[in-house]
Structure 1
Amino acid sequence: MGRERNGCAARVALLGAAVALAMAGCTATRQQDAAPMPAPPAGLERFYSQSVNWGSCEDYGDPTDRFPPVAQCAKITVPVDYARPDGPTAQLALTRIPASGTKIGSLLMNPGGPGVSGLSMAGIAGRTPLSEHFDRVGFDPRGVGSSTPSILCLTPREADAERAEKPEDNTAQGIAAAEADNKEYVDRCAERTGVDFLAHVGTREVVQDMDVMRAVLGDAGLTYLGYSYGTRLGSAYAERFPDRVRALVLDGAVDSSQDPVQESLRQAAGFQGVFGAYSADCATASDCPLGTDPTASVSRFRALVDPLVATPAATSDPRGLSYDDAITGVQQALYSDDMWQALTTGLGELRQGRGDTLLQLADMYDGRREDGSYANTQDAFNAIRCVDDPRITDRAVVGRQDSEYRRAAPFLDDGRGTGAAPLELCAQWPVPNTSEPHSISAHGVPKTVVVSTTDDPATPYQAGVDLARQLGAALITYRGNRHTAALVAGDECLDDAVIAYLVDLVEPARGQTC
């Protein structure tokens, strides 16, 4: 299949200060008061000056989201096309937890994806100076989650059917079949979402949306925490609005200077590295399903998953575990060493002919709910990626990429490479891309912070080093096997540095490592 998956880990997130203060219910502010509110762009005044009507979160978010009682939700309006502010509009869903003490401003947060809902982000960093001094604000980017219109390509039944399909061989016939499947998917996206909206769901527009959020939240400068793809949003915002940045923390960096081929190959090597670390850890136990010799872990892993190409594993769910779902479930577990035990359980089950745990992990990755419905994460991921990145239509390039990917990540190599591969679905996308790979240039931006993890499978360490250099940012190195770490890994060294920067603009120590 040429389809890629969500998660940054594709296989191959004008109110005056007095008004904002009253809305937040706070009694004092600091730091942001001294800065004048930037004037809204000409023609966009009605969007920048709109009021935010905060209320109940009952009809917001995924059914599994559990917002605390103090959380408030609202929607704001933005133009679909900023070049046509009098044209169609979109509604963006926001959630916030008001500052509990002396308020500095709002901390806008995005979890990445692209395509992942950010509403639950407001709940992180509770009982810290961040919760005291900031309204913590999460948002669903345009087309995502509770924002409307929604990006929609597949029905739940179609998504289930696609996940159950056997992977195509990279023969001429198999490549043709995979590309026909991709064309069908693209046509469904165009029909169900609308071509006009698909043309305006990329980073270019979301960055402008973030500036509208900054203004309606009452902040002269943006304070932002972005993870994974959310680092692309943050760096693009800094590039476009360097004079409107107060503080940025970018964790799990996407390096916008890389083209999609470079990014996928770095990612393949990252996943292989973490698979090796997991295998070595697992091998310390006598009952490790991959055995006690880490050098044999790839062959043992392939022996477990390859039979699924022909015959799915039994599960308590009538769907069974397909080959694609097994690989997806394994990758989900490799995002953090916190899930390694679940991976060991899943591989142990697979050794016994069952696939329940790996199917649950794949459902988590794909956004499938217990009732069989789906979040639109995967469809949004594809739509945003295809409008953000240049198309690869050269079959020689695609064939080389497939061969190099297999070499970089042998645990993902099904042994059926031929030196050729299908063009991925973006090659047939109905609207042009709106971004190109380039080094970030954000002259005049204040000091920012990049966090990069040494053994991050999805956004490898070097990408953070490169992004920090482009932004002139302080780099914090986190030693670990996980994708993103600040305020989520429970590391005091890292969290203290990030909080001190966001609250008091204290730069991390040069070369800080946690």
Structure 2
Amino acid sequence: MKLFPVRLAVAATMLVPVSLIAGGSAQAAIPSVRAVPVWTACAAPTPLQGSGEKPGTLRDGTPWECAKLRVPLRYNHPEHGTIDLALIRVRAKPKPGQTRIGSLVFNFGGPGGSGVATLPLAASTYLKLHERYDLVSFDPRGVGESAGVRCLPDKAYDALLALDATPDDAGEQRTLLDGGRDFAAACQGNSGRVLPYVGTENAARDLDTLRQALGDRTLYYYGASYGTELGGVYAHLFPENVGRMVFDAVVDPDGDTVGHSLGQAKGFQLALSNFLTDCAKRSGCATGRDPGRGAAQITELLKGLDGRPLPTASGRALTQSHATYGIASALYSKESWKWLDRGLGAAKAGEGDLLLLLADALYGRDDKSRYNNLQPANTAINCADTSDRYTPADVSRELPAFRKASPVFGEFLAWSILQCTGWPVTGAAKTVEVSADGAAPILIVGNTGDPATPYAGAHRMATRLGEGVGVELIVKGEGHGAYGANACATDKIDTYLLTGTAPRNGTVCG
């Protein structure tokens, strides 16, 4: 996913002018891989990866294997040291008469999501692909156990996330800015060595190093949400190494920080409207039979939480910011709408537990009150990538457009544009470069009801990749991503990855 963000307003600090990316041309060479990863049985995911149980085997008995891949911290200055990337795979199990194609590498988005923790949880969705591919994922640099960015201790992070993210006066604004400043200082203090080098271009170079280590001539790849941005940058840098690649839930390559946030405001408002319309068809819906009135109820709920949070059994309070996050969390998938209905109903009754639980799922907070590094990595990678740095005055100027786009999420997302203001390293550019002339066809999958990466971004990605490269598959549905949620799209993606035959450009799945 490209996260509905914990956008931290960071007070101005001294910017360190450093080189964020590898430098050189798009064709700059990567050092050849000299060592093959040593694959062994996997341990349980660490707290930085999200915790959980040790992966054992797929249901067909194939065991999970884990390894480390050593890469340069700075590709253009390998003498500055290395970092280890955490890897996971399950080897292909072809049926009689079938042959293995290669390794299919997954990035599930964020940025900041641990592939090592996520792939075993999602693998049952990809069993058809497992017949002919090794399924492989990794923690990108700065994520999980790949030199994962560390910032605040857990209790301090609890306090930070409870701050009012839509300040109403100068005092609340100072408190939010101070919280952001403390967060940035903690990230610099704990992870300053890697912060300048966790951007997407370096991650794309890591992808090509991984391709070599896996022994594939070209990269077979499935990227979701931010994984589409990473895939697009890879295709730009290494068009000759593009194999069968799928981008699902596509990040708009033309979007700057304001554009992405405004697009999310519109996308989440649309998803909320669709939820309310669906909910109104069922008896007992917490928001009633009138979608318009239901939307007003949610706005009133959030307004009421401003300064008057709801209690929960855990002792933590459901703040306005937590509730906004919890609502957004449930809109990522239509399957979660039932939990949103229940959470809103409980909140109307004065209980904040379920909405807080939904927010925690998006924050990366587990049932032992520990945070993985999803949000610190998300901030670090976004701020390494973007050169945008805004002020509270910029937010004030943008607020009317955001409020118009979304009465529920607009103000929250307007303040989110301060995420990288005062970050201790400079950013690369306003937008990413994804042109990939000469690359093999890449399947671009856009869902018309996607709240986090609105559909328009898929069309722009297909266009920017270049003529004959981006092949667009349009999916009419709800939720963030189509694979496994839409049977038509899943079938066409499987067919492309297994046979190399892409659907006709502009194909529509209802």
TM-score of the aligned structures, taking structure 2 as reference length: 0.88
Aligned-partner Cα distance in 2 for 1:422–1:295: 26
Highest relative contact order (Cα 8 Å, sep 6+), 1 or 2? 2
> What is the rounded CA distance, in whole Å, between the counterparts of 1:51 and 1:286 in structure 2?
59
Q: Which residue of 2 aligns with 1:467?
A: 461
Residue number in structure 2 paired with 1:450? 444
Q: Is the 8 A contact 1:476 1:512 kept in 2?
A: yes
Q: Contact conserved, 1:315 with 1:321, CA < 8 A, in 2? A: yes
Pairs within 5 Å for 1:396-407: 396-407=393-404
Find the residue that maps to 1:370 and give its secondary structure.
coil
Query: Structure 1's 499 and 390: CA in aligned 2 closer, same or farther, altered over 3 A?
Result: same
The CA deviation at 1:450 is: 0.4
Residue aligning to 1:89: 82
**5 Å matches for 1:10-159?**
10=5, 44-45=31-32, 48-60=33-45, 61-65=49-53, 67-69=55-57, 70-101=63-94, 102-119=99-116, 120-121=118-119, 123-124=122-123, 128-147=127-146, 149-159=147-157
Q: Which amino acid aligns with 1:93?
A: A
CA contact (8 A) 2:103 2:134 kept: yes
Q: What is the CA-CA distance between 1:107 and the residue it aligns to?
A: 0.2
Residue 506 of structure 1 corresponds to which residue in structure 2?
Answer: 501
Structure 1 counterpart of 2:327, one-letter code? V
Report if the CA contact (8 A) 1:114-1:380 is conserved. yes
**Structure 2 equivalent of residue 302 of structure 1:** 299
How far the C-alpha of 1:140 sits from its partner, in A, is 0.5
Aligned-partner SS, 1:363: helix
Q: Which shifted more, 129-138 or 174-183?
A: 174-183
In 2: Cα distance, 1:513 partner to 1:338 partner: 22
Contact 1:116-1:377 within 8 A present in 2 as well? yes
Distance in 2 between the 1:215 and 1:162 partners? Answer: 41
> Take 2:247 and 2:82, find their aligned partners in 1: how far apart are those partners?
29
Aligned-pair CA distance for 1:456:
0.3
Matched ranges for 1:50-449 at <5 A? 50-60=35-45, 61-65=49-53, 67-69=55-57, 70-101=63-94, 102-119=99-116, 120-121=118-119, 123-124=122-123, 128-147=127-146, 149-167=147-165, 169-194=167-192, 196-393=193-390, 396-412=393-409, 424-438=418-432, 440-449=434-443
> Could you tell me how far 1:394 is from its partner in structure 2?
5.4
Q: In the aligned structure 2, how far is the partner of 1:118 from the partner of 1:385?
A: 18
Shift of 1:177: 3.1
3-state SS of paired residue (2:70): strand
Contact kept in structure 2, 1:175 and 1:422, CA below 8 Å:
no
CA contact (8 A) 2:43 2:54 kept: no
Moved more, 116-125 or 266-275: 116-125
CA distance in 2, matches of 1:322, 1:247: 45
Task: State the distance in 2 between where 1:63 and 1:439 align.
Answer: 35
Please give the alpha-carbon distance, in whole angstroms, between the structure 2 residues aligned to 1:50 and 1:41.
21
Which letter does structure 1 place at the counterpart of 2:133? F
Decide whether the 8 Å contact of 2:36 with 2:213 is kept in 1: yes
State the alpha-carbon separation in 2 of the partners of residues 396 and 322 from structure 1.
Answer: 25
CA apart distance, 1:217? 0.3
Residue 41 of structure 1 and its aligned partner are, at CA, apart by 7.0
**CA distance 1:43–1:226, shift in 2 (3 Å):** closer
What letter corresponds to residue 353 of structure 1 in structure 2?
A: G
Relative to structure 1, is the Cα distance of residues 509 and 255 closer, same or farther in structure 2, using a 3 angstrom cutoff?
A: same
Whether the aligned pair in 1 keeps the contact of 2:268 and 2:409 (CA below 8 Å) is no
Q: Residue 67 of structure 2 contacts residue 86 of structure 2 at CA under 8 Å; is this kept in 1? A: yes
Q: Across the two proteins, how many residue pairs are aligned to each other?
A: 473
Tell me, in whole angstroms, the C-alpha distance in 1 between the residues paired with 2:347 and 2:39. Answer: 48
CA distance in 2, matches of 1:179, 1:374: 22
| Structure 1 residue identity aligned to 2:31 | L
Aligned partners of 2:107 and 2:181: how far apart in 1?
31
The 3 A distance-change label for structure 1 pair 236 and 168 is closer
Gaps of 5+ in 2: 8-26, 58-62
What SS does the aligned partner of 2:508 have?
Answer: coil
Q: Which amino acid aligns with 2:437?
A: H
The whole-number CA distance in structure 2 between the counterparts of 1:422 and 1:241 is: 33
Q: What amino acid sits opposite 2:440 in the alignment?
A: P
CA distance in 1, matches of 2:454, 2:502: 23
> How far apart, in 1, do the equivalents of 2:495 and 2:102 lie?
15
CA RMSD between the two structures: 2.2
1:412-446 per-residue CA deviation (whole Å, 9 max, x = no partner) reads 357x99xx969714110111112431552111101
User: TM-score, normalization: structure 1?
Assistant: 0.87
- One-letter code aligned to 2:68: K
**3-state DSSP class of the match of 2:401?**
helix
Amino acid at match of 1:505: G
2:190 and 2:127 mapped to 1: Cα distance?
43
Give 5+ residue unaligned stretches, structure 1: 1-5, 13-39
1:179–1:423 contact (8 Å) kept in structure 2:
no
State the Cα distance separating 1:479 from its structure 2 match: 1.3
2:479 & 2:256 partners in 1: Cα distance? 23
Q: Kindly provide the amino acid, as one letter, of the partner of residue 492 in structure 1.
A: A
